[in-house]
Amino acid sequence: MTTTTHPIGMKTEWKGMYCLAWGRCKWLIAGLSIVLFSACKKKTPSPPDDRAIISAKIITSGKKIPSLGDLWLSTWASDDNLYVSWGDGVGPGTCYPIMAETPDPDSALTISGCDPEPIIFCEDFCGVFSCDGVTPYAPCVLTQAGVFRLEGPVDQFSGCDREQCIRSIHIPSGIPQFKYGTDPTTRRGDKPSSLLFYNGTLYWHGHQLMASPHYGYIAYSTDYGKTWTEVPNSPWTEESNFRVLMLINMGKNYALNTDGFVYGLGIHGELMWPPANQQVYLARVPKDSIAHYNAYRYFTGLDADSVPQWSKEQTDAAPLPNLTTVGLGAAMYHPGVKKYLFLALPEQNGEAALTLFYADKPWGPWRVVQRFDGEVYIPGVITKDTGPKSFYFTAAGGGGVGNTYQLTIAKIEMELP
């Protein structure tokens, strides 16, 4: 996957005169007299703004973490650490990518450009690290999907020791997609859709393949991401709108949840490019049954009393009104503003841009807070270290703060009434 294949993260006052009792006025001159004539109208009051979140802005330029990859999605676990996924890269660290089982890789490789390409993912690598022909780099195995542990305050994170922080690669099977001497397009290529930690278990919704996946599935780890078990017989196959399921995180160890369910926003594809909106659907499952496909229920709409209705059949699912995205996003419950937030990438007038939505409930109604023009990448949200009206998010491989193919951590601040 290269940026030439997909340009983003995929490998790739009213101001006018304020008028109390007058506004537009004319001076009339008659002979030697000057008369003020008012031809003004009272300003019609604007309807009250009932939005719970008025606007939002990105308040940092983004901290660039030494790393290579995209799809930096996270969850906040009971040990107070964040567990963060990545796709198609080496994860955190300053090292060049190699295929698994590459014989005798150079332990101190210098790179001086990408024509011809001395390494795989060369342009992405040189967009992050110096390719001056002098700086030496050690090799790291490229993976289609991995997880690392981010310790400490989010704003203090600047990188980590790979030996200490990387939990696993080649998730969930342990089999590399990128293996020396083989065609990676003929091998299984898993990508993360979302992570969620609850009650000692790290859950992973993954999809296979990238962009337009054949199916989505649940995998889980009971040792903080070191080993994984994929749940077989997934129902989210070729025609499913839940092949990419963005589980909604709710605080540390899912502790902010009050109704006993885990919710997920579903789409059929990781990324539709050129930009094409996908409708977004909703599923839920009892939080003690995340690994049981038959326990999932699918939102079909509201009844006459605005009570959400659910079905066992995913084909009965109704799209959520006013909610679209061209690709993978990320969702959370924010304890400061007491709203559900969704960072997504909807298309408008032929252009996709990062957009923040909010809702009182997972089923909506969802409303746009802010469209961030020029910010074009697959985002992640970070539930740890939220402020009263702010949160951190991740970006990679597109435009704006996420303009390089590496983990970038930035912050959004929301304006409240």
One digit per residue, the tens of pLDDT, for the chain of length 417 reads 444 434 454 443 333 322 322 233 333 333 333 333 344 444 555 555 689 999 999 999 999 999 999 999 999 999 999 999 999 999 999 999 999 999 999 999 999 999 999 999 999 999 999 999 999 999 999 999 999 999 999 999 999 999 999 999 999 999 999 999 999 999 999 999 999 999 999 999 999 988 899 999 999 999 999 999 999 999 999 999 999 999 999 999 999 999 999 999 999 999 999 999 999 999 999 999 999 999 999 999 999 999 999 999 999 999 999 999 999 999 999 999 999 999 999 999 999 999 999 999 999 999 999 999 999 999 999 999 999 999 999 999 999 999 999 999 999 999 999
Alpha helix stretches (DSSP H) within 71-166: 122-128, 162-165
Whole-angstrom distance, CA of residue 50 vs CA of residue 78:
36
Whole-angstrom distance, CA of residue 284 vs CA of residue 302:
15
- Asked if residue 378 lies in contact with residue 69, where contact means CB atoms within 8 angstroms, the answer is no
CATH class belonging to 48-415: mainly beta
Whole-angstrom distance, CA of residue 58 vs CA of residue 36:
48
Whole-angstrom distance, CA of residue 414 vs CA of residue 370:
9
* 241's tokens: 């709108």
Query: Identity (one letter) of the amino acid at 197?
Result: F
* 65's tokens: 């973490």
- Asked if residue 11 lies in contact with residue 70, where contact means CB atoms within 8 angstroms, the answer is yes
Reply yes or no: is the peptide bond before residue 172 cis, omega within 30 of 0.
Answer: yes
Indicate the domain borders of the chain. Answer: 48-415
3-state percent helix, strand, coil for the chain, nearest multiple of 5: 5, 40, 50
Whole-angstrom distance, CA of residue 368 vs CA of residue 358:
7
DSSP 373: T
Alpha helix stretches (DSSP H) within 117-224: 122-128, 162-165
pTM: predicted TM-score of the whole model, two decimal places: 0.89
